[in-house]
C-alpha cells in the first residue's frame, strides 16, 4: 500500500508543477483535465501526509519504549504506542478506501428517467412519488433539478418523467438507483382496500458535454408538432414539441414541456447524448468483468433492486439486504442511509475483487 501511496504523492507533485505552467494553462482542455486529476488526488495526499507523520511518531515511541526498560518514560511510551496503533489502523483503512480508483463519471451531473411499469395508474402515481423523493433529496443537498420531459396522467401521475440533477458528485451518490423499484400499497384508485404491487423503472445517466459525444447532424431526424397533455388535450397552439430520432442507434427522444421549440430541441439533445454515452459505457463495462463485479448490482433496468412496502412502513434494498422501517421518511427525501450503505458495499466489493 505504501508504494501505491508514494506513487500518488509523486503524481500530485507533478500535477502541481504542470498546472502552474503557462503553456498548460493556455491549453484549456488539458488544464481542466489536469485540475480534475489534481483535485481527485488532494484528499488522498493530505491523508497520506498525516499517515507518514503518524508512522514517525510510532517509530519514536517504539524507540523510547525499547530503550527505557522499565522506567516511567518507557511505560508512558508504551501507553502512547497503543493509542497510536489504533489511530494507524483506522487511518490505514481510510487510505485503502481512498486508493480505490475514482470513477471520472462520479463528479458528473445526471439525467434521470423514471417510467411507470406494471400497475397502470398506480405505477404512474408511484413514479410521481419517486420524482418528489429524489427532488427533496436533491434540495437537501443544494442540488438543482430541472424537468426535461414528462408525460403526466389525468390523476397527476407520470407515465414517464425525465429530469436533470446538477450539483457536486451527483452521479457518485445516485448511480445505484438504476433498476426496478417495486411498490406494495393500497392504491388511491382501489375502493376495496386491497394491497397492490406495482413497479417503476429508474435509469440514472451521467450527463455529458457536447464535445464528449459526436452527433452528426445528418444522423438525426427532427420532427416538430403540437404538444399534448393528459387525455389528449392540446397544451400549445404552436408546433413546439420536438421528436429527435438518432438514425444509427434508433434512439428516440421527445421533449414538449417548453413552449419554445428551440428549448425543447436543446433538452432533447441533452437526453440523447446521455443515452448514447450510456450505450458506449455499457459496451466498455461488458469488456471489464472485474470492474463490473465491483459494482452494486448490474445497473440493469430489468433488475428489481428495491421494494417499498407502505402498510409496514418498510423499505428493502435487495442488493445489500438492507431493510429500514422508516419508509415515510425515505419518501420525504431521507435517502442518506441507503446511499451511504450502497457506496460502502461498492467499496468493499472492489477491495475484495482487487485483493487489497
Residue 92: band (very low, low, confident or very high) from pLDDT cuts 50, 70, 90: confident
pLDDT tens track for 341-350: 999 888 888 7
pLDDT tens track for 206-218: 998 887 888 899 9
b/e for 27-56, b at 16 or more Cβ within 10 A?
eeeebeebeebbebbeebbebbeebeebee
**Helical ranges in 184-287 per DSSP H:** 261-286
pLDDT of residue 232: 46
pLDDT tens track for 273-298: 999 988 888 877 676 544 444 444 44
Mean per-residue pLDDT, 67-77: 73
For residue 310, pLDDT over 50 is answered with: yes
Classified as helix, coil or strand, 248 is: coil
pLDDT of residue 291: 42
Domains of the chain: 2-98 (1.20.58), 107-208+285-352 (3.30.70.1660), 212-284 (3.30.160.20)
Q: What pTM was computed for the model?
A: 0.71
Between residues 297 and 237, the one the model is more confident about: 237
Amino acid at each position: 500500500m505504501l508504494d501505491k501511496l508514494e506513487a500518488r504523492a509523486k503524481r500530485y507533485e507533478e500535477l502541481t508543477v504542470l498546472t502552474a505552467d503557462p503553456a498548460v494553462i493556455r491549453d484549456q482542455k488539458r488544464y481542466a483535465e489536469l485540475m480534475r486529476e489534481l483535485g481527485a488526488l488532494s484528499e488522498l495526499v493530505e491523508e497520506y501526509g498525516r499517515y507518514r507523520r503518524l508512522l514517525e511518531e510510532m517509530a519514536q515511541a517504539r524507540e523510547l519504549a525499547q530503550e527505557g526498560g522499565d522506567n516511567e518514560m518507557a511505560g508512558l511510551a508504551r501507553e502512547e504506542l497503543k493509542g497510536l496503533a489504533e489511530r494507524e489502523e483506522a487511518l490505514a483503512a481510510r487510505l485503502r478506501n481512498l486508493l480505490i480508483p475514482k470513477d471520472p463519471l462520479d463528479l458528473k451531473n445526471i439525467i434521470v428517467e423514471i417510467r411507470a411499469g406494471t400497475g397502470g395508474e398506480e405505477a404512474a402515481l408511484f413514479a410521481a412519488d419517486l420524482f418528489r423523493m429524489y427532488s427533496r433529496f436533491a434540495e437537501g443537498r443544494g442540488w438543482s433539478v430541472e424537468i426535461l420531459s414528462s408525460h403526466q396522467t389525468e390523476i397527476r401521475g407520470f407515465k414517464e418523467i425525465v429530469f436533470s440533477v446538477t450539483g457536486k458528485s451527483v452521479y457518485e451518490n445516485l448511480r445505484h438507483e438504476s433498476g426496478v423499484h417495486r411498490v406494495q400499497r393500497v392504491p388511491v384508485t382501489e375502493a376495496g382496500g386491497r394491497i397492490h404491487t406495482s413497479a417503476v423503472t429508474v435509469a440514472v445517466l451521467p450527463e455529458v458535454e457536447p464535445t464528449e459525444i459526436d452527433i452528426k447532424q445528418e444522423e438525426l431526424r427532427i420532427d416538430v408538432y403540437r404538444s399534448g397533455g393528459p387525455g389528449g388535450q392540446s397544451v400549445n397552439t404552436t408546433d413546439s414539441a420536438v421528436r429527435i430520432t438518432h438514425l444509427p442507434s434508433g434512439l428516440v427522444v421527445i421533449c414538449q414541456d417548453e413552449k419554445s421549440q428551440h428549448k425543447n430541441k436543446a433538452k432533447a439533445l441533452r437526453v440523447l447524448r446521455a443515452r448514447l454515452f450510456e450505450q458506449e459505457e455499457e459496451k466498455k463495462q461488458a469488456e471489464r468483468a472485474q470492474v463490473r463485479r465491483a459494482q452494486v448490482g448490474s445497473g440493469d433496468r430489468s433488475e428489481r433492486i428495491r421494494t417499498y412496502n407502505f402498510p409496514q412502513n418498510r423499505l428493502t434494498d435487495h442488493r445489500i439486504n438492507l431493510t429500514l422501517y422508516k419508509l415515510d421518511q425515505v419518501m420525504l427525501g431521507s435517502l442518506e442511509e441507503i446511499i451511504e450503505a450502497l457506496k460502502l458495499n461498492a467499496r468493499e466489493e472492489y477491495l475484495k475483487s482487487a485483493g487489497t
